[in-house]
Structure formats: C-alpha cells, structure tokens
Amino acid sequence: MHFVPSEPCNSVRSTVTTINHIIINMTEAIGSFPFGRPVLKVCQKDRTQKKVFVLGVYASAVHAQWVDKKDALLIRAVAVDSEPEIFWRGDGAEKIIKGIELPPGAGRLLPPSEKLNGPSGLALDSEFLDPLALIRKDVWLCDLVPYSCRNPAQDQALRNKYKPLEKPFSLPDYSQWKEVPKVLADDDRIHEILDEFRSASPEIIITLGDQPLKWFVRKVSNDRRCKLADYGETDETYGRLHDIEIEGRKLLLLPLVHPRQAAKLGRYSPVWFNRHDEWKKTTALSIKSMFQDLQGQYEFSWPEQ
C-alpha cells in the first residue's frame, strides 16, 4: 500500500480564539467537551528528528470532579478539556480546571483524584522510556486517534447527571464530542501518521498494545501480524526487536503492551503486567545497551512524494 503526504495536524487555519492565553483554531475543534471547551487534536510539538517513534491508541483528556452548588458529588471524573500535550503527565491540571467557569447554579469543578489526570503519560515514562534509558526529547509521540473520545462510562455518567441539567442551566451541548471510532485509523489518518513518521525519521518504532499493530504497522509495512500475542506470549519472546520495512526502508519494531497493562490502569491483565515487569528487568537492559550501536545503522531518507 502506498501513501502520499496529507495536510499535517498542526496546519494553520482560520477563526482563532484565545482561552487562558492559549491560541486555539476553532475550525480544528472536533466537537466540544461538557462545559464547552473544544475537543482538539493533540500532536507532537517538537518536530525535530527522533531516533524512536512511539505509537499509542488515542488521546485522553483533562478530567475534573463535578459537584453541585451544595458540593454534593455529581460526577467523580468528567472529561472537560483537551490534554495540553500528547501523553500528558497531569501537570497543571488544577489551573486548567479552575479556568473553566460554570453557569450560575450549575455547581463547580474540582480536581479529581491525582491518578485520573496524566496516568498514561506517567506510565510512558516509568514503564517504557526509563527502562530503555530514553527521555521525551529522544522520542516522537503519536496516537492512532489524536483526540479525546467519549467512552461508554463517560456517556452513561453524562446522560444521568449532565443531560437533565443541560437546559435548566444552559450547559453547552457535548453531542459532537465523538465516541471511540470503530475504525481507529482510516486512510486519511494513516496518511497523517506516515507524514509524522517521515518527519521523525526514526530507527525504531515502539507500539503500545494491539491496536497500533492492527491499524498501522500491518497496513504500511511488510509485517502482517496484527496483535501483540503474535510476536510471542512468553518472557523469552515478549518485547524483542523485529526487522520490518516501511516503503522499502528498514527499521526495527518493538511491540510492547498498552500502558493500561504495564501500570495497572483500570482493567488490566496480570499475565501481561508480569510479562512486561520481567521485560523491564531483563530484555530492556540488553535493548538499552544496543541503542547506541543502532543509531545511524537504519538511515531514513524519505523521498519527495
């Protein structure tokens, strides 16, 4: 399959507004969160070349606790704004939440449990980058779906608590905030990811969980495996480097678990958690020592399309 470049996700468009001193292109908004903040694409900010490209599933959001005017709990954790950066670590959450004003009588937003903002970003650092002696400036971060999606749990909580108060308090409509798509990366999105990939010019791609393998790697490379288990389900086979080609260019693939599994975030598999934990103590150490030798061996010079 051959893809040609598409318009990058941070391209300049018209209709600009300012929220908390952050300039936002409203034409780039993909619906609105409850309480009115725009749902925006969250992409890599540092566009310089990186030796490692990390591909996740979809962006999360800034979460807040919503209480009524008597401070009675309405929703324990509701998504209220786009993350300020990809794989955000939760820093500055309180300031972001304080900047969201609710209509009179609609209650207020408070910081939720510390574990609810930035867990995937923290897990990326501690469970994936640190074991490989990598830091953020070494890697290009990307998600299949570059914006926050409305999951079933959020949907249910909003139907129960937000919808009944939407008209009485003139709360903003959130219906255009998209649910998790069935197709996590269509051809247009694959175009965009490949454009980022060319800009990063990496030697290694790290995938987090099954979905990046299914929706990206198997579609653009010579490797047709579509889930993590296909690369091995034992301590001896998990987390190894694999040779692949994308558009005729050689690089290395490192398929790893989703942050949910590695850091016990919500529902997780103890089997995969233990497997990744063992990887950090063993295989990751040998891969770490190989990185210096690998740099420069796989040279990417993406041709003009």
Tell me the average pLDDT across 158-179: 97
Please report which helix (H) or strand (E) contains residue 57, including its range: strand 52-58
**Euclidean distance between CA atoms 37 and 27, whole angstroms:** 13
For 119, the token pair is 């867990």
Contact 5, 109 (CB under 8 A): no
> pLDDT grade, residue 295 (50/70/90)?
low
Q: What is the 3-state secondary structure (H, E, C) of the chain?
A: CCCCCCCCCCCCCCCEEEECCEEEEHHHCCCECCCCCECCCCCCCCCCCCCEEEEEEECCEEEEEEECCCCCEEEEEEEEEECCCCCCCCCCHHHHHHCCCCCCCCCEEECCCHHHCCHHHHHHHHHHHHHHCCCHHHEEEEEEECCCCECHHHHHHHHHHHHHHHCCCCCCCCCCCCECCCCCCCHHHHHHHHHHHHHHCCCEEEEECHHHHHHHHHHHECCCCCCHHHHCCCCCCCCCCEEEEECCEEEEEEEECCHHHHCCCCCCCHHHHHHHHHHHHCHHHHHHHHHHHHCCCCCCCCCCC
* pLDDT for the residue numbered 292: 59
* pLDDT for the residue numbered 294: 57
* pLDDT for the residue numbered 125: 98
pLDDT 10s digits, 185-241: 999 999 999 999 999 999 999 999 999 999 999 999 999 999 999 999 999 999 999
Compute the mean pLDDT over every residue in the chain, rounded to the nearest whole number. Answer: 89
Place of tokens 């929220």: 19
Looking at per-residue pLDDT, the higher value among 24 and 133 belongs to 133
Nearest Cα residue to 208 out of 131, 287, 266, 123: 123
pLDDT 10s digits, 176-186: 999 999 999 99
Q: What percent of the chain has pLDDT over 70?
A: 87
Residues near 233 by Cβ (< 8 Å), separated by ≥ 6?
275
* pLDDT for the residue numbered 19: 42
> pLDDT grade, residue 291 (50/70/90)?
confident
* pLDDT for the residue numbered 9: 54
Nearest Cα residue to 141 out of 63, 226, 43: 43
Q: What percent of the chain has pLDDT over 90?
A: 83
For 70, the token pair is 């008597």
pLDDT 10s digits, 51-84: 999 999 999 999 999 999 999 999 999 999 999 9
* pLDDT for the residue numbered 8: 39
pTM above threshold 0.85: yes
* pLDDT for the residue numbered 289: 84
Sign of CA dihedral 50, 51, 52, 53: positive
**Euclidean distance between CA atoms 238 and 230, whole angstroms:** 10
Tell me the average pLDDT across 4-24: 39
What does the angle CA 91 – CA 96 – CA 99 come to, to the nearest 5 degrees?
A: 160
> pLDDT grade, residue 297 (50/70/90)?
low
